[in-house]
Amino acid sequence: MSVDREPGLRERKKERTRRAISDVAMRLFADRGFDNVTVAEVAEAAEVSLSTVFNYFPTKEDIFFDRQEDVEQEWGEVVRGRKPGESAVAALRRHYFEALERREPRSGIAEGLVTFHRMIEESPALRAREREIGERGVEALARTLAEEAGADPDDITPRVVANQVAGVYGALYNEGRRRLLAGQSVEEAYPFLLRAARRAFDLLENGVGDYCIRPG
């Protein structure tokens, strides 16, 4: 039994170390700005070696976007988990509105998110990485759509739909960021985003709403 438990203990310890590094780094980034903090300073503040930081995070941008792999795969997972009779776009619409209703970060508005937004706006490196994460998310969604729809390799429809979905999500997220950075509270920004999201997803569903419906 001890043999079975050991990997779990190691993994939990590794996750605690990873989280501790990330938490310390984010405090430093928030206080001084992402571009003004070195990885060596993160290691010192977290009381670990520089090599330990790089073992968990290959680059400083990876520390900031510590959930980037989850973000990149999220849309595809939503599509794979859609309900019987539900299209890919309908599932993604439901996913966004659930996040907006709960004021989750992926909607663009959440308590405490303004600091995160501000750090990205102030750093060219973070803006570039954010674009890369978005592009990989589109690629992952396109692959999932192609698999779920049984699309021919030469069919560009999955990529077209993926880019349209990303355009809607991106426009709503960026509008939420713009409003928070302009000084609006989460609750002040919410009604606008709700109306904008309804309009945006209505347009999207009118165009590709019947694509990739899961059989009942």
**3-state DSSP of 5-32:** HHHHHHHHHHHHHHHHHHHHHHHHHHHH
pTM to 2 decimals? Answer: 0.88
User: Is there a contact between 106 and 74 (Cβ–Cβ < 8 Å)?
Assistant: yes
For residue 5, pLDDT over 70 is answered with no
pLDDT confidence of residue 36: 97
pLDDT digits (tens, 9 = 90+) for 38-57: 999 999 999 999 999 999 99
Q: Domains along the chain?
A: 2-58 (1.10.10.60), 68-208 (1.10.357)
Confidence of residue 214 (pLDDT cuts 50, 70, 90): confident
Sign of CA dihedral 39, 120, 19, 57: negative
**Count of C-beta atoms within a 10 Å radius of residue 158:** 22
Averaged pLDDT, 179-205: 96
